[in-house]
Chain A
Amino acid sequence: MELHLRHAGQQTVLKVAGSQDALLLSRPGEDDFEARILETTQSTVLLEIDGQRQSVHFWRANGKINLQWRGQVMVFELEDPDEDNAGDAGQGSPILRAPMPGKVLELMAAVGDAVQAGQPLVRLEAMKMEIDLAAPMDGTVETIRVAAGDLVEPDAELMRLQPHDREDNEDNEDSEDSDKSDKSDDAKD
């Protein structure tokens, strides 16, 4: 069985073999490892891995599995390996979205500007504070959908970047991914 897992914008392809409670797990480029499933309850999985017993808490919601081990959390969702998936550059989406309801106070970049990852692009007033939203990656500002004074909803698209190429990225892959982002946005509407 092959699982395409997505966590925080990154994808991991995990091959799972073995029986009911003894798994053999492989990932491209990494050593295989084994895990024994000792017990599964309504909210925990008890595993034996690398010779140690580990308890992992879980909660399923919205098609995702939330996992917690020793206080650390990872949220995974399963992807259909046959579907197109946007934003696989691993840096995040080239679309800057409003994280919460708010008001656009200031645009700190213009169409055509080259910007760097982390550079503030939009100043938003939300939760009684001013929050600067930063560029998720190096790129050029392609489109701006809002103006100072606009009220925005969560996930509203604010700006779109044309990502700059990184050494290990292919040009085609980037622009294809941007197009795919477009399609998945339309599907949401």
Chain B
Amino acid sequence: MTLKNLRRILVANRGEIAVRIIRAARQLGLETVAVVSEADRSSMAAAMADQVVEIGPAEASHSYLDMDRIIDAGRQSGADAIHPGYGFLAENAEFARRVEAAGLVFVGPDAEVIETMGVKTTARERMQAANVAVVPGARLDEGADDAALLATAETVGYPLLVKASSGGGGKGMRAVEAADALVAAVQAARREAATAFGDDTVYLERMLVGPRHVEVQILADSHGNVVHLGERDCSIQRRHQKVVEEAPAPGLDDELRARIHAAALVAARAVGYRGAGTVEMLLDRSGEFYFLEMNTRLQVEHPVTELVWGIDLVEQQLRVADGQELAFTQDDLAPRGHAIEVRLYAEDPASGFLPQTGTVGVLEFPNGPGVRIDAGIREGCEIGLHYDPMLAKLCASGEDREQARRRLLSLLRQTVLLGVNTNQSYLARILAHESFARGEVHTGFIADHLDGTAAEMDDAQLRIFLAAAATLFKGRAPGSSRPGDTSVAGPEPVWSELGAWRAGGSAEV
């Protein structure tokens, strides 16, 4: 069943999500248009799309964040709809408005909904009005002086988080243990928020101790139907950035799970949601959960939900954008098994997780039952510093959590990626950790178990590397051969590399 009104969609994004959207669109028989910056001219997405429009230099503000250029590209290419992916303009209400004003369909909810839920303080207030419990917190007045800041912080209680109102992705956030660090933290968070989101408004929120980050996937059409596709647990985070995600959330009893799903549906209906969205909650140790925020777009970790619920969320987004009614009710949906995803980043845990650059020299992903890889890179690809360093999402599913965990661990050990430093073995350490195997996930997991500890390589493993290095460096050792030392690489290896040759006349190989 193909779409009725949409024929061609423009993907206003890059990397693995652009590839994901293009794939889903093609499967529906849609034509695709990719917009690329100069740096992405030879990207995988560019290679896959039916049309490519170059929209500017590498710098995101002049390309992927340039609303007018993207909409022009949409008009030029005859696109009917624009899919914003996640990040960039995905939660930009102004962009949604302009897309609609240009006569194109924005794949997502209405601009007003994006706006309401995009300003975190307003979103919290809307949820409170709908009787959904929110994490205790408070707005900060713009002109608040230090005394007023401290007074507001008192009402929230320590420890607390200073968070960017227009924020996400862990940016513009600062944790504050006690009053003496508050003012500096607010200033730092404001600066970071201004740079990352163009808005320095911040608010305060109580920092729950060792909570779990549990979020619910919802899907709504334009005919009043809303369903949930279960929850995900994204508790394994480093500095508020997700590292490992899974579905369903381990260790929840059925009653709590049902209440969390129900609260998410209330939230979605309260704002008249349309499309795919996620209601994020924090679950504290006592079993209480609180609304954290709502993301009015597809999330990075959507694959784990797709693997467990058997639904293609991007396809559903496009069907909803096409005006179709959901083809299933809540009763038609049932989860099966477990899925875990890890985010492969071009960062080096050994040097403080600094973003890495390089060329992807070798790239091989294994395959098999329960394996899913969402990648936006190919061999030969240049990895620079212009964009988010996420290279791929590696997912594994199984009949139960342990099977999914083992499959993913195996996947991490068999994936070959050379040329850019990544967090690949760091991810394997997390998956192999006995606490993770027991399902003891919470937001303090990495800090508790991995921070400050370097991966250890025992000598048996080091010997394998040294033997390989010796094999490959043989014949390339610098320095001259010393007289009488026949073990030093001299001219001999060069002769052995010459291959077949014949004196006089051309060689036939």
Choose among B355, B362, B463 the residue with the greatest number of A CB atoms under 10 Å from its CB. Answer: B463
Pairwise interchain contact A65-B469, C-beta atoms closer than 8 A:
yes
One of B188, B192, B428, B464 near A69 (C-beta < 8 A): B464
Which of chain A's residues has its CB closest to B475's CB? A1
Pairwise interchain contact B487-A1, C-beta atoms closer than 8 A:
yes
Pairwise interchain contact A25-B463, C-beta atoms closer than 8 A:
yes
Pairwise interchain contact B188-A130, C-beta atoms closer than 8 A:
yes
Which applies to chain A's interface (DSSP): helix, strand, loop or mixed? strand
A42 to chain B, nearest CB (A): 10
A103 to chain B, nearest CB (A): 10
**Chain A, 1-39, contact with B by CB distance < 8 Å: what is the 0/1 string?**
111010010001010111000010101001001010100
**Chain B, 341-367, contact with A by CB distance < 8 Å: what is the 0/1 string?**
000000000111011001101101000
The answer to the question of A180 belonging to the interface, with a C-beta cut-off of 8 Å to chain B, is no
Known A47-B467, A56-B464; judge A65-B473 contact (CB<8 A).
Answer: yes
Pairwise interchain contact B477-A2, C-beta atoms closer than 8 A:
yes
Residues in chain A near residue B489, CB distance under 8 A: 1
Known A12-B466, A45-B471, A80-B479; judge A128-B418 contact (CB<8 A).
Answer: no
Pairwise interchain contact B421-A73, C-beta atoms closer than 8 A:
yes
A24 to chain B, nearest CB (A): 9
Known A47-B467, A47-B471; judge A134-B195 contact (CB<8 A).
Answer: no
Pairwise interchain contact B479-A82, C-beta atoms closer than 8 A:
yes
The answer to the question of A68 belonging to the interface, with a C-beta cut-off of 8 Å to chain B, is yes
Pairwise interchain contact B463-A58, C-beta atoms closer than 8 A:
no
**Chain A, 112-143, contact with B by CB distance < 8 Å: what is the 0/1 string?**
00000000000001011111001000000000
Residues in chain A near residue B434, CB distance under 8 A: none
Known A78-B476, A82-B479, A130-B191; judge A58-B418 contact (CB<8 A).
Answer: yes
Known A12-B466, A68-B418, A69-B464; judge A23-B195 contact (CB<8 A).
Answer: no
Q: What separation, in Å, do the CA atoms of A130 and B164 have in the docked complex?
A: 14
Residues in chain B near residue A35, CB distance under 8 A: 463, 467, 470-471
Pairwise interchain contact B464-A78, C-beta atoms closer than 8 A:
no
Q: What separation, in Å, do the CA atoms of A80 and B473 have in the docked complex?
A: 12
Residues in chain A near residue B465, CB distance under 8 A: 56, 67, 69, 74, 76
Residues in chain A near residue B415, CB distance under 8 A: 71
Pairwise interchain contact A49-B463, C-beta atoms closer than 8 A:
yes
What total of chain B residues lie within 8 Å of the partner, measured CB to CB? 54
The answer to the question of B503 belonging to the interface, with a C-beta cut-off of 8 Å to chain A, is no
Pairwise interchain contact A8-B459, C-beta atoms closer than 8 A:
no
One of B171, B352, B354, B473 near A3 (C-beta < 8 A): B473
Residues in chain B near residue A59, CB distance under 8 A: 361-362, 418-419
What total of chain A residues lie within 8 Å of the partner, measured CB to CB? 56
Residues in chain B near residue A56, CB distance under 8 A: 464-465, 468
B64 to chain A, nearest CB (A): 13
Q: What separation, in Å, do the CA atoms of A143 and B228 have in the docked complex?
A: 59
Known A45-B472, A66-B418; judge A81-B479 contact (CB<8 A).
Answer: yes
The answer to the question of B443 belonging to the interface, with a C-beta cut-off of 8 Å to chain A, is no
Q: What separation, in Å, do the CA atoms of A23 and B472 have in the docked complex?
A: 12
Residues in chain A near residue B364, CB distance under 8 A: 57
Q: What separation, in Å, do the CA atoms of A125 and B469 have in the docked complex?
A: 38
Q: What separation, in Å, do the CA atoms of A25 and B473 have in the docked complex?
A: 13
The answer to the question of B500 belonging to the interface, with a C-beta cut-off of 8 Å to chain A, is no
Pairwise interchain contact A71-B412, C-beta atoms closer than 8 A:
yes
26 A-B contacts, Cβ less than 8 Å apart? Answer: A1-B489, A2-B488, A3-B473, A3-B477, A8-B350, A16-B474, A23-B470, A27-B466, A56-B465, A61-B359, A67-B469, A69-B465, A70-B414, A71-B415, A72-B457, A72-B461, A73-B421, A76-B469, A80-B478, A82-B479, A100-B354, A125-B191, A128-B171, A128-B196, A129-B171, A129-B192
Additional A-B contact list (9), CB under 8 Å, known A35-B467, A99-B351: A1-B487, A5-B469, A23-B467, A47-B468, A54-B464, A61-B361, A67-B418, A73-B422, A127-B385
**Hey, which bits of chain A sit against chain B, CB under 8 A?**
1-3, 5, 8, 12, 14, 16-18, 23, 25, 27, 30, 33, 35, 37, 40, 43, 45, 47, 49-50, 54, 56-61, 65-74, 76, 78-82, 99-101, 125, 127-131, 134
